[in-house]
Amino acid sequence: MPTQETDHISYQRSFYVEGGNFNYAGTVSTSIKSILKQMDLPNDVVRKSALVSYESEINIVSYARKGVIKLSIYSDIIQIEAIDEGPGIPNIELAMQEGYSTATQQIREMGFGAGMGLYNIKSFSDKFDISSEVGKGTYLKMIINKFSSR
Amino acid sequence: MDIETIVKKLNLKVRCAAANLKKTVSGGYTGDLLSDVMAKSHEGDIWITRQVHQNIVAVASLKDHAGIILVNSCEPAPDTLERAIQENIPIMVSEMNAFELTGKIFHLLTTKD
Ligand SMILES: Nc1ncnc2c1ncn2[C@@H]1O[C@H](COP(=O)(O)OP(=O)(O)OP(=O)(O)O)[C@@H](O)[C@H]1O
Ligand SMILES: [Mg+2]
């Protein structure tokens, strides 16, 4: 379960994500980006956070029943958690590989399903954790350092 | 070079955010796979694609793209337009295919006149 990285939390907000509804896909990550932008964080920090939020949001919409994306801002890190209720991921190692995807034809037609989301989340996060239980759901935790540049 | 210049030189049709064409185009990216575009494109890019679904607006907005050009005369879906107006992201349409359009824009951006 989520662990706090540092003691001082300055902001926290949870966003609901509905599975299967592509009409609102991307709105949570767009909100997260504008919240971070208002906080005058470095551009690359905002962009990395936007990318990891977006890919986790799209995965919840694509594969899960419902989920929550939780943004927590501490003194020196941004923590983004994506917690969903859904089918879970049977083989995480495989799912993390670039190019592996179980996306349906309908999802692919919208430009998703390259099998790059989780791989990109990992490479754009400063710290990344994933766990999943088949039949229950998936939990992702992404940490972005506030004051480092990639 | 700003979007307006590219629109004029390449005869693009502007479908929304026509008041926002003074933005500088610093580069470009061509692609239809959204997670590839998310990872590899840059701020200020003009994004060339044939995806018309409203998700392209979120991608362009999250990546701070200068605008989106749809190729092969593909028109944006109605809810794509609606969302692009909200986000003030210019969407243009070209008759050219992605290969031709990318080549022409690359040439415009890299040649000094
Ligand atoms: N939240 C989730 N619940 C269940 N399965 C998931 C979840 N997230 C990812 N997966 C599984 O892992 C695979 C790989 O995910 P990843 O995000 O890397 O690629 P993708 O979603 O298939 O394509 P892309 O992200 O490039 O559009 C998915 O196809 C799916 O099988
Ligand atoms: Mg994905």
Nearest residue (by CA) to ligand 1, atom 21, is: A113
Parent domain of B91 = 3-110
Calculate how close chain A gets to B69, using CA atoms only, in Å. 15
The pLDDT value recorded for residue A3 is: 53
What is the per-residue DSSP string for B92-112? EE-SS-HHHHHHHHHHHHH--
Is A55 touching B (CB cutoff 8 A)? yes
Query: For the domain that residue B53 is a member of, what is the CATH number?
Result: 3.40.1390.20
Cβ-proximal residues to A56 (8 Å cutoff; 6+ apart), any chain:
A69, A80, A82, A117, A121, A140, A142
ipTM: 0.93
Nearest to residue B59, comparing CAs of A111, A121, A107?
A: A111
Instruction: Check if the beta carbon of residue A118 is closer than 8 Å to that of residue A56.
Output: no
Give the per-residue pLDDT at A147: 86
Contacts of A128 (CB under 8 A, 6+ apart): A121, A122, A140, A141, A142, A143
Q: In tens digits, what is the pLDDT along chain A, a chain of 150 residues? A: 455 555 688 999 999 999 999 999 999 999 999 999 999 899 999 999 999 999 999 999 999 999 999 999 999 999 999 999 999 999 999 999 999 999 999 999 999 999 999 999 999 999 999 999 999 999 999 999 998 644
Query: A111, B55: Cβ pair inside 8 Å?
Result: yes
How many domains would you assign to chain B? Answer: 1
* Long-range contact set of residues A2-8: C-beta below 8 Å, sequence gap at least 24: A2/A70, A2/A79, A2/A81, A2/A141, A4/A74, A5/A74, A5/A77, A5/A79, A5/A143, A6/A74, A6/A75, A6/A76, A6/A77, A7/A74, A8/A74, A8/A75
Structural domains of chain A ordered from first start: 11-145 (3.30.565.10)
Residue B4 vs residues A2, A14, B11, B92: alpha-carbon distances, Å: 48, 40, 10, 11
Tokens of B14: 């502007």
Residue A51 tokens read as 């990318």
Of B2, B29, B15, nearest to B106 by C-alpha is B29
Q: B36, A29: Cβ pair inside 8 Å?
A: no
Give the type of residue at B79.
D
pLDDT tens series, chain B, 113 aa: 999 999 999 999 999 999 999 999 999 999 999 999 999 999 999 999 999 999 999 999 999 999 999 999 999 999 999 999 999 999 999 999 999 999 999 999 999 76
Distance A42 CA to ligand 1 centre (A): 29
In a mutational test of the A interface, the residue from B30, B33, B34, B82 whose CB has the highest number of chain A CBs within 10 Å is B34
Ligand 2 centre to CA of A117 (Å) is 4
Q: Which residue, chain included where needed, has tokens 């607006």?
A: B57
Asked if B46 and B24 count as a contact pair (C-beta separation under 8 A), the reply is: no
Q: Which of A28, A116, A123 to mutate to test the interface with B (most CBs of B within 10 A)?
A: A116
Residues less than 5 Å from ion ligand 2, measured at CB: A 59, 117
